C-alpha cells in the first residue's frame, strides 16, 4: 500500500498522523542498508542491531521529521555518528595493557626511578590520548594499540588511508607537545 509513496510523503504521514504503517514502510526500505553500514564498521551484529534500532526509535520520535530533506542521507549520517559514539563509549571501558607499548615491557629490567618515570609518562600520554578528538583518538588507538596499519584502519572506518595517516600525524604532534611541556615542567621543578 505504501511502497509507491515517496520518503517525504511517508515522513508527513508519520509526523502528522503517527501512521505506523508508513513508519513500517520506511523501516523496511532502510533497515538492511543501515544495518549493513553499521555492521561493516563495527563487526558486531548485536551492537549494530541495537544502534539501528535506536536510530529508528529516534526517527519515530523526531519532532521535525518533515524538515528532513534527504532521509537516506540523514539515516546514514545518524548511523555514522551513532557508531562513533558507540566506539567512544566502549573505548572508555577497554583496558589498555601497558606491556603493548614497547618501552614499558622492560619495566622489570629498569631501576625504580626509571620505572616510575615511564609509568608516569605512560599515564600522561594516555591522558593526552583521551583529550584527542573522537575520530583522531579512535584512529590512534587502532594504530598504536590494536597495531592496525593505515589501510586496515581506512577499510574499517571507510575513510581514505591518507586521512588515517593525517589523523595519526595530528595525534602524534599533540602527544609530542604534551611530552615536551611535561619535560619542561619537570626540569623547572628541579
- Contact indicator for 79, 36 with CB cutoff of 8 Å: no
Average per-residue pLDDT for the chain: 79
Give the mean pLDDT of 97-102. 42
- Give the C-alpha separation, 89 to 66, whole Å: 31
| Predicted confidence (pLDDT) at residue 24 exceeds the cutoff of 90 | yes
- Give the C-alpha separation, 72 to 34, whole Å: 9
| Predicted confidence (pLDDT) at residue 43 exceeds the cutoff of 50 | yes
| Predicted confidence (pLDDT) at residue 100 exceeds the cutoff of 50 | no
| Predicted confidence (pLDDT) at residue 98 exceeds the cutoff of 50 | no
| Predicted confidence (pLDDT) at residue 1 exceeds the cutoff of 80 | no
CB burial of residue 127 (10 Å; 0-12, 13-18, 19+)? exposed
Quote the cell numbers at residue 85: 559514539
Give the mean pLDDT of 153-157. 90
Quote the cell numbers at residue 3: 511502497
- Give the C-alpha separation, 23 to 115, whole Å: 60
Give the mean pLDDT of 27-47. 90
- Give the C-alpha separation, 78 to 55, whole Å: 7
pLDDT 10s digits, 158-183: 898 888 888 888 888 888 887 776 65
pLDDT of residue 120: 67
* Category of 96 on φ-ψ map: left (φ > 0), alpha (ψ -120 to 50) or beta: beta
**What three-state secondary structure class fits 17?**
helix
Give the mean pLDDT of 36-48. 88
Quote the cell numbers at residue 27: 523501516
- Alpha helices, DSSP H only, in 43-149? 45-61, 71-91, 112-131, 134-144
Contact partners, residue 119, CB within 8 Å, separation at least 6 = 98, 104, 107
pLDDT 10s digits, 49-82: 999 999 999 899 888 888 999 999 999 888 888 8
pLDDT of residue 140: 87
**What three-state secondary structure class fits 102?**
coil
Confidence band of 3 (pLDDT split at 50, 70, 90): confident
Buried residues in 49-63 as b, exposed as e (16+ CB within 10 A): eebbeebbeebeebe
Confidence band of 119 (pLDDT split at 50, 70, 90): low
Confidence band of 118 (pLDDT split at 50, 70, 90): low
Amino acid at each position: 500500500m505504501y511502497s509507491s509513496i515517496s520518503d517525504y510523503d511517508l515522513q508527513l504521514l508519520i509526523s502528522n498522523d503517527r501512521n505506523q504503517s508508513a513508519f513500517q514502510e520506511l523501516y523496511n526500505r532502510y533497515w538492511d542498508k543501515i544495518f549493513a553500514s553499521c555492521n561493516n564498521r563495527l563487526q558486531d551484529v548485536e551492537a549494530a542491531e541495537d544502534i539501528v534500532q535506536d536510530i529508528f526509535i529516534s526517527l519515530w520520535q523526531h519532532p521535525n521529521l518533515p524538515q528532513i530533506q534527504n532521509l537516506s542521507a540523514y539515516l546514514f549520517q545518524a548511523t555514522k555518528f551513532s557508531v562513533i559514539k558507540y566506539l567512544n563509549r566502549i573505548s572508555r571501558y577497554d583496558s589498555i595493557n601497558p606491556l603493548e607499548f614497547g618501552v614499558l615491557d622492560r619495566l622489570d629490567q629498569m631501576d625504580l626511578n626509571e620505572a616510575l618515570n615511564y609509568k608516569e609518562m605512560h599515564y600522561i600520554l594516555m591522558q593526552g590520548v583521551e583529550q584527542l578528538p573522537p575520530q583522531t583518538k579512535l584512529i590512534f588507538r587502532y594504530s598504536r594499540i590494536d597495531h592496525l596499519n593505515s589501510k586496515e584502519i581506512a577499510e574499517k572506518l571507510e575513510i581514505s588511508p591518507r586521512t588515517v595517516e593525517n589523523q595519526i600525524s595530528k595525534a602524534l604532534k599533540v602527544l609530542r607537545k604534551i611530552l615536551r611541556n611535561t619535560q619542561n615542567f619537570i626540569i623547572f621543578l628541579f
